Amino acid sequence: MANTQAMATSFKGELLNAYHNFSATNPARTINTADTFKAALYLATATYNATTTAYAATGEVSGTGYTAGGVNVGTWNAPTTSGTTGFTTPTASITYTTVTLTTAFDAVLIYNNSQTNRAVSVHTFGSQTVTAGTFTLTMPTNNSTSALIRLA
């Protein structure tokens, strides 16, 4: 059992049903407030992957300074396209400040807190622990080849 990096398959269908709004300005609709996305950390023993449909507490890390459900992702770069690829990335790092997480974790689930916690994507990294410290996830460059979320 392990976490696997993937875009949630359910997310792809939900895009077609306009569940997710990453942009504060949505020219196609009168919704000018972006949804709130959150980032939850998961233990290396958990099993989050493309079949994940929503945030769940099962397998989530726990420890001093960490709140179940994780932290807000913040704003996203306005979704755009280049060539045949659409993409977006959070505008800032995701940071868990002064936490103690002593059981190894290796994945973060991005999910839409405004839409009943529907899953967006799972991102994996080398297994880590944190002791009275800060865990920071720095985002890749927001372009058509590196952005965190890409559709092509």
Partner 1 sequence: MAMVVTTKGEMDESLLEKKEGTVDNDHEITRWTEYWHEGELVHRSVHVHLKKNVFAAGVAAMIA
Asked if residue 12 binds partner 1 (CB under 8 A), the reply is yes
Which residue from 98, 103, 104, 116 is in contact with partner 1, where contact means CB under 8 A? 98
Asked if residue 150 binds partner 1 (CB under 8 A), the reply is yes
Asked if residue 138 binds partner 1 (CB under 8 A), the reply is yes
State the Cα angle at 135 between 103 and 144, rounded to 5°.
115
Contacts of 101 (CB under 8 A, 6+ apart): 41, 61, 62, 63, 66, 128, 129, 130, 135
Q: Which helix (H) or strand (E) is 13 found in, with range?
A: helix 9-16
Q: Which is nearer to partner 1, 40 or 139 (CB)?
A: 139
Asked if residue 125 binds partner 1 (CB under 8 A), the reply is yes
- Please report, as ranges, the residues that interact with partner 1 according to CB under 8 A: 5-7, 12, 87, 89, 98, 100, 121-126, 128-140, 146-152
